Structure 1
Amino acid sequence: MNAPTVLYARWEQVLNRIRTVDSEAEAAALAEELAAGPGARMLAFVNAHAMNSVVGDYDFYKALCDADLLLRDGSGMAMLYRMLGGVPGLNMNGTDFIPQLLAAYRGRRVALWGTTEPYLSAAAARCEAEFGVEVVSCENGFQSTAYYCEQVHETRPELIVLGMGMPKQELVAGLMRSTAVCAPLIVCGGAILDFLGGKVERAPRWVRRLGGEWVYRLVREPKRLFHRYVIGNPLFLLRAWRCRTAGAR
């Protein structure tokens, strides 16, 4: 397939798998549903960066397509939905939804894998104090996939929050799900542990309501996020326009 065909086919597959959520009440019910659900499952969030990444990374694309649940994350994805004639629903970003999940797992075993010290320990302490979970394992985000799979067997968490960044966390999550002897919910959380551990500060609430949190993060971390936002966002919009054109044809 040529490049435009690959783009349209992969974006279509990912979009068809995203579950949109229409209200705060539905989001709360989803958190409870996930906490009660049986079997090892994988939850991932799809933002503009993810959509850019699936075009050139087949393994990441397959990992997203194999996830048990995908949620729409970010203002860029909302724009894409509207361009394609869809309804985006709530912005189900991990930074807001994962705390809801943690609250739904109160009193249960949780593993936090990602980021570095001292932020990892700070995130664990906050999760125990604020959400009442039992953090049974903390690991940085730079181990091998085999190591994390071993930790699943040894610590048997009921909820695993990964903060390793794309695409590593999605690939690790898929392999852990397929080898887990217990039944954890594995969540691909991006920078969630950095936020919970105090390494990264969230944008003010009014900025988030306007869909400008990415601008706030870019200003705070220009070197790390330059390619993702300054180059990635215009590329995403160009690809969105191409998908709309291909869909119209």
Structure 2
Amino acid sequence: MMRGDLDDACTDWRERWDCLVRKIERVQTAAQEKQLLARLGQPDGPFVLAFANAHAMNSLANSVPFFDALRSADMVLRDGSGMATLFKLLRLQPGLNLNGTDLIPQLIRQFDGRCIAFYGTQEPYLQRALQLGAREFAPNSRFVSAHGFHDTGVYTGLALLHQPALIVLGMGMPRQEEVAAALRSVLTFPCLIVCGGAIIDFLGGKTPRAPMWMRRKGLEWAFRLGMEPRRLFQRYVIGNPLFLTRALRLASLRRA
């Protein structure tokens, strides 16, 4: 099947996975990461940045609308050790782990001096995240915010009103990808729109980070599962083996 035909079809989870794997931009060196940050810091129009992790791949296997929203992002980066395993099984270099939790604070620094919007989570964590952002990352910026439970039109209206140069969405999948696509469809000014997952919760102190040694070994998911076993049981205990099974299946089909 030709790539154009694949992009039009994508009716099977294997086709959707294959399509997204090809879309993910892999960064191999620290120098390339620095160049990427500089490029993202100067968007020439509305630009959506998303991240693909094992949970995202499982989700798009079951949801064509989520796949369409994620595929419509202007850039997708690899997030997590599960995705590194997938790329290795496909005999591709996985590149650096550019997870949003570590990358987004660096992006916020790139936008210091310009308006920044946080849309997501709830109080008091939202205000705590804003305070941390203003204190640690962008002291010269004006911050605007909204909690993560409004209708989509509220976010597009606020963005049109304040015209932030950076919008960080912290609503979780698939909601944030849907909102990101809606924002890009109506905004006309330069703006980086980031699908940030739990980033606002992390910045606001609602969700703690794993110890550094666990992050380096790709085990932050295990730490999060230990902190929230009931909420994350389906994602990790059920989802991780399912992701690996699908990854092995896709790799075997590619080698066939």
Which category describes the TM-score, using the shorter chain as reference length?
over 0.9
Q: CA deviation at 1:148?
A: 0.7
Query: Which of 172, 178, 195 matches 2:185?
Result: 178
Aligned residue in 2 for 1:226: 233
Sequence identity percentage = 49
SS at match of 2:94: coil
Q: Distance in 1 between matches of 2:123 and 2:229?
A: 22
Structure 1 residue 135, shift from structure 2 partner: 3.9
Q: Structure 1: state its 5+ residue gaps.
A: none
**What is the TM-score when the length of structure 1 is the normalising length?**
0.96
- For the pair 1:18 / 2:46, whether they are aligned, the reply is no
Is it true that 1:128 corresponds to 2:134 in the alignment?
A: yes
Equivalenced residues, count: 246
1:36 to 39, 42, 50: 42
Residue 5 of structure 1: how far off its partner (Å): 7.2
The 1-side partners of 2:27 and 2:108 are apart by: 18
Structure 1 position 236 matched with structure 2 position 243: yes
The one-character-per-residue Cα deviations of 1:154-206 (angstroms, maximum 9, x if unpaired) are 11100000000000000110011010132211000000000101111101111
Q: Are 2:158 and 1:151 equivalent residues in the alignment?
A: yes
| 1:223-248 C-alpha deviation (Å, 9 max, x unpaired) | 11110000000000111111011111
**Counterpart Cα distance in 2 of 1:169 and 1:134:** 23
CA RMSD of aligned residues (A): 1.2
Distance in 2 of aligned mates of 1:137 and 1:160: 9
Q: What per-residue deviation string (whole Å, max 9, x for no partner) do you get for residues 76-95 of structure 1?
A: 00000000101101100000
1:61 maps to 2:67: yes
Of residues 97-106 and 131-140 in structure 1, the stretch that sits farther from structure 2 once superposed is: 131-140
Alignment-derived partner of residue 85 in structure 1: 91
Unmatched tracts of structure 2, length 5 or more: 1-9
Contact 2:49 2:76 (C-alpha < 8 Å) held by counterparts: yes
User: 8 Å contact 2:118–2:169 — kept in the other structure?
Assistant: yes
Which TM-score applies when normalising by structure 2?
A: 0.94
What is the aligned partner in structure 2 of residue 45 from structure 1? 51
- Give the Cα–Cα distance (whole angstroms) in 1 for the partners of residues 170 and 229 of structure 2: 20
> Deviation string for 1:33-84 (max 9, x for gaps)?
1111200000000000000011111111011111100000000000000001
Pair 1:5–1:161, CA change in 2 (3 A): closer
Aligned to 1:94: 100
